[in-house]
A and B are shown apart, each in its own frame.
Chain A
Amino acid sequence: MSAPAGSPHPAASARIPPKLGGAAASGAAAPAGPGPGPHQQNGPAQNQMQVPSGYGLYPQNYVAPSGHYSQGPGKMTSLPLDSQSGDYYPGLYTVPTQNVVTPNTASQQPGAQQMYGRVPPAPHVVGSALGSFQGAMSSASHLQTSASQPYSSFVNHYNSPAMYSVNSSVASQGLPSTCGHYALSAVSNASYPGVPYPSLPAGDPYRQQMLTSQSALTVRPIRESSLSGQNTAVSHPSPLPPPPSQQYQQQQSLSGYSTFSWSAPGLPSTQDNLIRNHTSQVAANNNPTNTVADSLSRSVMQNVQPPKSSPVVSTVLSGASSTRPPPAAPRPAEPAASVAQPPELSQQKGMQYGEYVNNQASSAPTPLSSTSDDEEEEEEDEEAGVDSSSTTSSASPMPNSYDALEGGSYPDMLSSSASSPAPEPAPEPDPAPAPAPAVPQPSKLAKPFGYGYPALQPGYQNATTPLNSGVPPSSPGYSGFQQYAQQYPGMNQLSSSLGGLSLQSSSQPESLRPVNLTQERNILPMTPVWAPVPNLNSDLRKLNCSPDSFRCTLTNIPQTQALLNKAKLPLGLLLHPFRDLTQLPVITSNTIVRCRSCRTYINPFVSFIDQRRWKCNLCYRINDVPEEFMYNPITRSYGEPHKRPEVQNSTVEFIASSDYMLRPPQPAVYLFVLDVSHNAVEAGYLTVLCQSLLENLDKLPGDSRTRIGFMTFDSTIHFYNLQEGLSQPQMLIVSDIDDVFLPTPDSLLVNLHESKELIKDLLNALPNMFTNTRETHSALGPALQAAFKLMSPTGGRVSVFQTQLPSLGAGLLQSREDPNQRSSTKVVQHLGPATDFYKKLALDCSGQQTAVDLFLLSSQYSDLASLACISRYSAGCIYYYPSFHYMHNPSQAEKLQKDLKRYLTRKIGFEAVMRIRCTKGLSMHTFHGNFFVRSTDLLSLANINPDAGFAVQLSIEESLTDTSLVCFQTALLYTSSKGERRIRVHTLCLPVVSSLADVYAGVDVQAAICLLANMAVDRSISSSLSDARDALVNAVVDSLSAYGSTVSNLQHSALIAPSSLKLFPLYVLALLKQKAFRTGTSTRLDDRVYAMCQIKCQPLVHLMKMIHPNLYRIDRLTDEGAIHVNDRVVPQPPLQKLSAEKLTREGAFLMDCGSAFYIWIGKSCDNNFIEDVLGYPNFASIPQKMTHLPELDTLSSERARSFITWLRDNRPLSPVLHVVKDESPAKTEFFQHLIEDRTEAAFSYYEFLLHVQQQICK
């Protein structure tokens, strides 16, 4: 190993130095730190290294790296080599001599251990190298794909997972890098390549904190070409295996892994090496073996090195591994690698594996998913690369190692674990820095395994401190999915380390910086607000669930309910469990490993006590690891339970076995219930619907069993017999609406594929069938009863289109709205249902696994408050199109069309249940969303769709003093449209804190606002709207006064908020001016109720746009700070505050409200802009209703369109664009969103602050 490393270093440095130099160096430095010479450079790293004797070896590596450092990349490579060679070093490298010395000094461990130490570094190096190589290796590809930086972070993560014990140290290092990545990723999401680097800078600071002097260097190395050198080194090992003992083989394999997997693999490999070394030591053969290995490695290294390019390396590796040459190839070429990998996997593992691989390849990004789509793609590549690497590595080296392992016991485990990391890398390689940290960790990890846990803790502590520093930078929030936690032997250890970390002073500054709200004029940041990143160590952070899926209002959980009460902040979770993911590990397994007492699914945050037992992180029960779980299909290795994908990803999907179903999974069944009364025909929605259905008939999710049916109703109910074989659809009319029955038992719901022609005939005929109807009544209730009967045997989805108040039969409603009360400031009545008919029917539907989705297209009051119950309790969704008319209101028609397209083609899960579990001591109460609570923690969801969000309120029932981490797990069991029973599991891990300041530092203000909005909706229905409004204001007053009196010691005359809460008053004011809660402004009851429905069931990202839209100035778009998406330049104008003071008559502004875009054109807007972008000569000629931007061949038009397209691409529902001229009547729509301004009935932002201040002083 050492030999290869040494050689690679120089070479790498020479080759890659410039770019990766920094990153790689950091990585290298970290490992080296432990070593003697390097120590100086890698302050933090050294500490880590020192702890484990093995680390001592690392330091050696460092020394070598240090030499390399000048060459940046070279260092990285050297490190990997070192790690691999571990033993090899002495012989191989000139540097090795240094290394040897260092190990001795640094590590007290036996020679073997030293070797280990070295080995680990090598993996790290590899990881870093991979990062640097980006292009060359799969890892490199990873880096490259996701804004290179993120990837590097990912790599780090991987490494850390592999490392386990090491992880802690790694994590610390990694965290900084990750943080940087996060920031980058956030940025990068949009931009990709360009963005990544920004993150790097962030990473550097962190590193600096962590590593101090070395930080910068370490970072660079990772990225650089040194990786290639490492890779080559890895490949070398593979060749070597045959000659050396099993141990050697293992090492080789490991080295190979490291190269393959990149950072992650590399780390594991290092661990493996260490383990193996241990074994070898045990055997007392260390020296000879090492030498042999070294020689081998050297030879290999040399061979490999020439190839430098990742592909070459991979191929070499494959050759070495012999078992998996193909995988290696895939890795090298990033895209190619991803593609190639799946096949390999499939071949190796059979169908299941193939699936898994594919999924990863496609969805690997899950962790990354948080990033933009583009990033996701990149992620995919990375993941694919990782997978392939892991598989390959596992395939070739693992077997050998296993044999050896069995003898070695623990070491084996470690090695296996190390190998597993390979998959991890895919997740989210952060910038180079991360890898470096990872390296140290691995070494530590290795020790723990070998030596026992105690050793680990010190390492953790070391790691943790750096982590803290790194943590502070709240990156936008990618949480890597990596599951390093598992690797960590014990949560306890982690917790202890975390406890030490808590919120360090370094981290606190930003989030706790006091902000004087009344003095700060520009409170709104220039860029969108990202979720804060929990203050965890880097490994855990990387493994953590994406904030897009799972967010907590407090990212630092208070230890006791008393502390929570003091903080006066809401505690709860916001979930988006079924959102569209581009990368998602899907696991097929006969036994799904779950805790025997609390039934928690195994997740990245469990701790493995030893190879055979794991400790549940929610209830702390110790469970056995099933035999089947010992085998890792990804790496094809045995004895590495912590490397299984379940343990490496915090978002996974299981394909459930037959235990999870009593009846065969239901087919996809869709029923459309359409209002065809006079009112409906007038509105003309049928044309839009039928057109949309015809277009998307083939895209409806489902399989060959998919069934579909239609019903129409006015004062009678019409069924349509679409039985295959009929010449035309047959209409059956049931006029007995008091006792509805089905005219025929079957053939009303027909197979979509068999009766497609009839269905098309019907859809073509429907819009014109009722044109002359004079029927004005609507028997919605009976129609729903009929639909329920029709759907009962199977369950499925009912889509109801209603255009007026139901006026006949069961469930008829009366108008309850008094138009004169619309702008009342006092009492708003009738927010609750008028009858419980719809609620009861909804519960019946829920019991029969039928969801009812309501499309309300009405121009008059339709009592949505009552009608919405049908969807709310059956887990449906609600769409509302006020004043819909296909001719007179084209923007609504367009919106319906777009919504329908999404609605019909989006993913859907049937007969679903969702269960949320949390660590003992916490308890959930009060769920928000559309569902029925079946038992206290089980939500019954007849359907689940990707646009559904949920919220949960939490309370702390028992003190959490004996734990430093809490975890939340959401498990969503559903039947896919293909008839598979699947379980999607998300796991979130958060630290526990004991001081109030830490609680404030960790506030996620967006999540808190969304939870408050949900609570306020409940309050307005159960109590009154004014109560709810008071409660919202009190939330601000209480939290700010609690902060002022307990945390900040500043004078009370000013309104002080911690930086983390500075947007809180603004958002609450926005909520108070939201349609749902505003008073004094004329608001139709249905609009208000619809806004409440949306608050209840929208995921956080959409809800935030609804509450606080984004305003951009678009008449002066420039390429400054622009990001690149799919070869397109997307300008990134700064956010403007929502105030008319920002609107100048000379400008044009775009407001992004989530469901709609408004472009406001000022009266004196530059004619050039109007002509270039809107295609009209001047302001006066712009039409009143304009919903599209013409495609003009001008630069400003291109920029405007690419920006709008980019905004659109980031959300499932395509918003409709409204061009609003100044002084047109439509401008009130626009101006009502300017929430910082004063209206007749509401405060301006400044007045609101004064009001809050007054309340506080009272």
Chain B
Amino acid sequence: MAFTFAAFCYMLSLVLCAALIFFAIWHIIAFDELRTDFKSPIDQCNPVHARERLRNIERICFLLRKLVLPEYSIHSLFCIMFLCAQEWLTLGLNVPLLFYHFWRYFHCPADSSELAYDPPVVMNADTLSYCQKEAWCKLAFYLLSFFYYLYWLRFRLGTRPVSSLHPSAQPGVW
């Protein structure tokens, strides 16, 4: 097989997927930072530290908010590309997450115009653990899809996958 549009899609996805993995890892670290204050309890109670800590929280929340749109748009891009490339299986695998992202983005509580990751809200232990779980799940998903894309990239390029992921997955092609 030659270098088709599908192969191009997989190649691009591979690169962007690496970025998404990076985002997911960053999220995990950020939530961990929000969850625990790495100061001794006495220092934590210090008013001076309070200022520092608050600034930290706001900075993290600001960054989190900044990352929402890029992440969601990158993932939407995948879906559009695979749709165009008529990679139905891959598209099918990505659609659930796509809908989840849509739901997250447009499901704004009541009146507030702001996005998720509002400091007072995100600091709630419940929300925080939810976000953390979400980030871990996404990390797992992106990692798996990374290797999935890798496999299909090789497959679409017509070369036998070097990795031994599924040596006999497509016996008729070789």
B124 touches A836 (CB 8 A): no
Contact code string B41-84 (vs A, CB < 8 Å = 1, else 0): 11011111111011101100000000000000000000000000
B125 touches A973 (CB 8 A): no
Is B161's CB within 8 Å of the partner chain A?
no
Distance of A843 Cα from B54 Cα, bound (Å): 8
Query: In the complex, what's the smallest C-beta–C-beta distance from A297 to chain B, in angstroms?
Result: 50
B50 touches A934 (CB 8 A): yes
- B126-174 contacts to A (CB < 8 Å): 126, 128-129
Instruction: Please give, as numbers and ranges, the residues of chain A lying within 8 Å of B58 by CB-CB distance.
Output: 843
Is A846's CB within 8 Å of the partner chain B?
yes
A911 touches B125 (CB 8 A): no
Instruction: Please give, as numbers and ranges, the residues of chain A lying within 8 Å of B41 by CB-CB distance.
Output: 599, 915
A913 touches B55 (CB 8 A): no
Partner-binding segment picked from B9-17, B94-102, B105-113: B105-113
Is A527's CB within 8 Å of the partner chain B?
no
Q: Which one of A666, A846, A924 has the greatest number of beta carbons of chain B within 10 Å?
A: A846
Is A873's CB within 8 Å of the partner chain B?
yes
B124 touches A926 (CB 8 A): yes
Query: In the complex, what's the smallest C-beta–C-beta distance from A1253 to chain B, in angstroms?
Result: 33
- A809-851 contacts to B (CB < 8 Å): 816, 829-836, 839, 843-844, 846-849
A934 touches B37 (CB 8 A): yes
Query: In the complex, what's the smallest C-beta–C-beta distance from B106 to chain A, in angstroms?
Result: 15
Q: Quick one: which of A661, A848, A865 contacts B46, CB cutoff 8 A?
A: A661
Instruction: Please give, as numbers and ranges, the residues of chain B lying within 8 Å of A973 by CB-CB distance.
Output: 45
Is A151's CB within 8 Å of the partner chain B?
no
Instruction: Please give, as numbers and ranges, the residues of chain A lying within 8 Å of B114 by CB-CB distance.
Output: 836
Q: Which one of B45, B58, B109 has the greatest number of beta carbons of chain A within 10 Å?
A: B45
Instruction: Please give, as numbers and ranges, the residues of chain B lying within 8 Å of A839 by CB-CB distance.
Output: 118, 120
- B1-38 contacts to A (CB < 8 Å): 34-37
A925 touches B113 (CB 8 A): no
Query: In the complex, what's the smallest C-beta–C-beta distance from B145 to chain A, in angstroms?
Result: 31
- A916-953 contacts to B (CB < 8 Å): 923-927, 932-938, 940, 953
Instruction: Please give, as numbers and ranges, the residues of chain B lying within 8 Å of A847 by CB-CB distance.
Output: 50-51, 54-55
Instruction: Please give, as numbers and ranges, the residues of chain B lying within 8 Å of A865 by CB-CB distance.
Output: 111
Q: How many interface residues does chain A have, given as a range?
A: 35 or more
Is A888's CB within 8 Å of the partner chain B?
no
Beta-carbon nearest neighbor of A834 in chain B: B111
Is A662's CB within 8 Å of the partner chain B?
yes
B112 touches A934 (CB 8 A): no
Contact code string A658-674 (vs B, CB < 8 Å = 1, else 0): 01111100100000000
Is A265's CB within 8 Å of the partner chain B?
no
Query: In the complex, what's the smallest C-beta–C-beta distance from A1079 to chain B, in angstroms?
Result: 16
Beta-carbon nearest neighbor of B33 in chain A: A935
Is A365's CB within 8 Å of the partner chain B?
no
Q: Quick one: which of A666, A836, A927, A936 contacts B112, CB cutoff 8 A?
A: A836
Q: Quick one: which of A663, A831, A834 contacts B48, CB cutoff 8 A?
A: A663
Distance of A832 Cα from B35 Cα, bound (Å): 25
B37 touches A935 (CB 8 A): yes
Contact code string A843-867 (vs B, CB < 8 Å = 1, else 0): 1101111000000000000000100
Quick one: given A830-B111, A849-B50, are A843 and B45 in contact (CB under 8 Å)? Answer: no
Distance of A966 Cα from B170 Cα, bound (Å): 59
Beta-carbon nearest neighbor of B52 in chain A: A847
Beta-carbon nearest neighbor of A1020 in chain B: B110
Quick one: given A849-B50, A935-B53, A940-B54, are A925 and B129 in contact (CB under 8 Å)? Answer: yes
Query: In the complex, what's the smallest C-beta–C-beta distance from B158 to chain A, in angstroms?
Result: 52
A933 touches B124 (CB 8 A): yes
Instruction: Please give, as numbers and ranges, the residues of chain B lying within 8 Å of A911 by CB-CB distance.
Output: 47, 50
Query: In the complex, what's the smallest C-beta–C-beta distance from B118 to chain A, in angstroms?
Result: 7
Instruction: Please give, as numbers and ranges, the residues of chain B lying within 8 Å of A924 by CB-CB distance.
Output: 125
Query: In the complex, what's the smallest C-beta–C-beta distance from A603 to chain B, in angstroms?
Result: 16
Is A22's CB within 8 Å of the partner chain B?
no
Distance of A1231 Cα from B49 Cα, bound (Å): 51
A934 touches B54 (CB 8 A): yes
A-B contact count (CB 8 A): 112
Distance of A831 Cα from B113 Cα, bound (Å): 13
A660 touches B120 (CB 8 A): no
Query: In the complex, what's the smallest C-beta–C-beta distance from B43 to chain A, in angstroms?
Result: 8
B50 touches A913 (CB 8 A): yes
A873 touches B44 (CB 8 A): no
B113 touches A836 (CB 8 A): yes
Query: In the complex, what's the smallest C-beta–C-beta distance from A201 to chain B, in angstroms?
Result: 46
Beta-carbon nearest neighbor of B53 in chain A: A934
B110 touches A831 (CB 8 A): yes
A662 touches B48 (CB 8 A): yes
Instruction: Please give, as numbers and ranges, the residues of chain A lying within 8 Å of B129 by CB-CB distance.
Output: 925
Quick one: given A660-B46, A843-B119, A926-B125, are A832 and B109 in contact (CB under 8 Å)? Answer: yes
Distance of A924 Cα from B124 Cα, bound (Å): 10
Distance of A1022 Cα from B47 Cα, bound (Å): 31
Beta-carbon nearest neighbor of B51 in chain A: A847
B54 touches A925 (CB 8 A): no
Is A8's CB within 8 Å of the partner chain B?
no
Instruction: Please give, as numbers and ranges, the residues of chain B lying within 8 Å of A844 by CB-CB distance.
Output: 54
Q: Quick one: which of A659, A849, A1024 contacts B47, CB cutoff 8 A?
A: A849
Q: Quick one: which of B42, B50, B57, B110 contacts A1022, CB cutoff 8 A?
A: B110
Query: In the complex, what's the smallest C-beta–C-beta distance from B130 to chain A, in angstroms?
Result: 10
Beta-carbon nearest neighbor of A1024 in chain B: B110
Instruction: Please give, as numbers and ranges, the residues of chain A lying within 8 Å of B85 by CB-CB distance.
Output: none
Instruction: Please give, as numbers and ranges, the residues of chain B lying within 8 Å of A833 by CB-CB distance.
Output: 111-112
B47 touches A795 (CB 8 A): yes
Instruction: Please give, as numbers and ranges, the residues of chain A lying within 8 Å of B36 by CB-CB distance.
Output: 935-936
Is B91's CB within 8 Å of the partner chain A?
no
Query: In the complex, what's the smallest C-beta–C-beta distance from A146 to chain B, in angstroms?
Result: 35
Distance of A550 Cα from B112 Cα, bound (Å): 33
Quick one: given A847-B54, A848-B51, are A913 and B118 in contact (CB under 8 Å)? Answer: no
Query: In the complex, what's the smallest C-beta–C-beta distance from A574 to chain B, in angstroms?
Result: 18
Query: In the complex, what's the smallest C-beta–C-beta distance from B51 to chain A, in angstroms?
Result: 5
Quick one: given A832-B112, A847-B54, are A936 and B47 in contact (CB under 8 Å)? Answer: no
B125 touches A925 (CB 8 A): yes
Query: In the complex, what's the smallest C-beta–C-beta distance from A818 to chain B, in angstroms?
Result: 14
Is A1021's CB within 8 Å of the partner chain B?
yes
Distance of A663 Cα from B45 Cα, bound (Å): 12
Distance of A832 Cα from B121 Cα, bound (Å): 13
Q: Quick one: which of B51, B110, B113 contacts A835, CB cutoff 8 A?
A: B113
A662 touches B49 (CB 8 A): yes
Instruction: Please give, as numbers and ranges, the residues of chain B lying within 8 Å of A934 by CB-CB distance.
Output: 37, 44, 50, 53-54, 57, 123
Distance of A795 Cα from B57 Cα, bound (Å): 20
Query: In the complex, what's the smallest C-beta–C-beta distance from A925 to chain B, in angstroms?
Result: 4
Instruction: Please give, as numbers and ranges, the residues of chain A lying within 8 Å of B53 by CB-CB distance.
Output: 934-935
Q: Quick one: which of A816, A829, A913, A1022 contacts B45, CB cutoff 8 A?
A: A913
Distance of A816 Cα from B113 Cα, bound (Å): 14
B111 touches A831 (CB 8 A): yes
Instruction: Please give, as numbers and ranges, the residues of chain B lying within 8 Å of A873 by CB-CB distance.
Output: 120
Query: In the complex, what's the smallest C-beta–C-beta distance from B164 to chain A, in angstroms?
Result: 41
Query: In the complex, what's the smallest C-beta–C-beta distance from A827 to chain B, in angstroms?
Result: 10
Query: In the complex, what's the smallest C-beta–C-beta distance from A979 to chain B, in angstroms?
Result: 13
B45 touches A927 (CB 8 A): no
Distance of A835 Cα from B55 Cα, bound (Å): 20
Distance of A659 Cα from B126 Cα, bound (Å): 32
Which 10 residue pairs are nearest across A and B when measured between Cβ atoms?
Answer: A847-B54, A832-B110, A935-B37, A832-B111, A925-B125, A933-B123, A925-B126, A911-B47, A662-B48, A1022-B109
Known: A843-B119, A934-B50, A934-B53. 10 other contacts (CB 8 A): A660-B46, A662-B47, A848-B51, A924-B125, A925-B129, A927-B124, A934-B54, A938-B37, A940-B54, A1021-B110
10 A-B pairs in the complex with CB atoms less than 8 angstroms apart = A830-B111, A832-B112, A834-B113, A847-B55, A932-B123, A933-B124, A934-B50, A936-B128, A937-B125, A1024-B110
